[in-house]
Structure 1
Amino acid sequence: MTINYKQSGVDIEKGDLFIDSINKKISTNFSKNVIGKFGSFGGSFDISNLNVNNPVLVSSTDGVGTKIIVANQVNDFSSIGIDLVAMCVNDILCHGARPLFFLDYIATGIINIENLNKIVDSIIKGCNTSGIPLIGGETAEMKEIYKKDTDIDLSGFVVGIVDKEKMLPRDNVKDGDIIIGFKSSGFHSNGFTLIRKVFSEMGIDYKDNSIFYGKSWSDILLKPTLIYVNEIFKIIDIVKGIAHITGGGLLGNLKRIVKGSLSVDISYNIEQWPDLFKWLNKECKVNSEEMKRVFNCGIGMSFIIDPNDYNKVLSFFENDEIVVVGKICDATTVN
């Protein structure tokens, strides 16, 4: 009796078919800086012509958490890759870095070529929004770890570049600076373990019609995380610090970029939250402090500026795109 890899749970032929199916769509999105071809042992990217005086590479890795479970349960993978790119790219924006390239990692119980293609298509969409190529990745078929054939997990990796003299946060953040927020599209990619628990206990099916915008709950929950590359680089020269609002909420993430005796005074309040977050708070009995600790509550990215630069910011954005969420204070003046 002989045994082979396929009988053990890894279908090499199907894996090769998947790689063949994505080769062209990935290769055609390569920029002129990409060296070599898709499928090489490593992805190579030429930075010699980027005209950065003192280049610093900034990297980030992230996933989409249990949002992938919602996508899996409703069989909708059309946007989950955008979330993957956003979670990584938005993080390096906080250091003032312009993203250069992206890599992905897809792990699954069994390779479903159709579903994995949808995921890759959405990753490419996220990369296109960010202005970067997907230069490589890995697909792992691990039936012993992912017990259900349909189980999937995603990880992403981004590298960006910034001039060392322009890295964020800057050292000139001071008492009285104001904090502005870019609005989120919804839950983005955080808090889904809690959301799923709430939906389960309330008996809500993801395919049911929601009470918002005439859309199903799955449409609401799977709305992709916004990517803020274009917005941030409109104002990068006047920004002193940036925080990506993910797990930890507005206050928790802003604290990560404020140094010394300075503190954060948040004025953004429950009345300003989008209806979706108010619903989760009031109807689903998730208390306000937990909401502020777990969710973005309507603010996807925040940044610090001098008050004198506020009108410059307004010249780039409509009033409904941004909101003042607080200010920087001396820690001794904050209760």
Structure 2
Amino acid sequence: MNASLKFVIGFLLAANFSFGQDYHKRIDSIIKASHLANPEIGISVGFIYNNVPYFTAYGKISQESRQLIDSNSIFEIASITKILTSNLIAQAEMDKKIKLDDYIDAYLPREYVLHKNIANRIKISDLASHQSGLPDVDFGKLIAADAQQPLRNFTQENLTGLINTCTELADYGKYRYSTVGYTLLGQILEKAYGKSYDAIIRERIFRPLHMSASLTKAFIVPNRTTGHGPNGVIQEFFQWNVTAPAGLVKSNAADLVKYLKAVLDTGSTIGKAALITEKIFYKDEKREMGLGTNIVSDDNNTLYMKSGDSMGQSSIICYNRARNWGVIILLDYRNSKMRNDLLNQIAEVLQ
């Protein structure tokens, strides 16, 4: 390599780092201002720009603790789990374990017996793009019975009964957000690979990316944040039971930026699978949906994103493939408006 080429490469790398540092300062000022306005809410943000990670955080892991929130603090990512599940579904198609356009009937565990009216109608991609028409978990009823752990009493027996007694798909082909759809996708994965969902996500996402802090079943750890409902009341982390593939993961900004880096790398298995999840499988006048991925476009940018709201925390993951950046926002309060406002401000900086 000649001296002039080395100089150009060095200049470009330095310029890229300089831009990243500028973005970091601007994003940090956004997060700081938000925390000053809402000092009770802890925030952890990670973003990646041209493969370089940056982090900022404000607040404490609980009101009683002196431990500050940082990039390693554990939050509920709730329904962001669905975007991990959809990536696994895309990997399963790449492995020729499934076909997205196949009907779900042959892929479901044998305890499911679909009624003749709905047999051979629902495709795997319909589950993943929230248009299957299947009945869903009645969260209102479950919350009324157990506000801290509403899913405690929703069992495999309940799920099997819900599916096997379904005789029509009243809104098939129309968007309706579905926890049951992603629960079934997890069970399709288990049948395809002959392993538990927990084992699959660890083997195919957590371990390859060294996401050692991402948790599923055991999440009592010293750096865990405390969840709060909109009224400030402390809320336990959910135990997802049979519905695990729809929301069980607990993680942190450091690990989720590793995931974003892999997603943006189209040479990686996870990156190739992400490209499949970004294809449009559903579109109406309000939204475009990939596999678990919300697609938002204008004349200049296309953003891929997924939000997560538990009873006590709010989060969102978002990336712009063309401009090679991604961001994760984690709040220790359920406050979707604040989360969305932060994303809009951060995206404006990074565009």
- TM-score normalised by L of structure 2: 0.26
Bigger relative contact order (CA 8 A; separation at least 6): 2
**TM-score with structure 1 setting the length:** 0.27
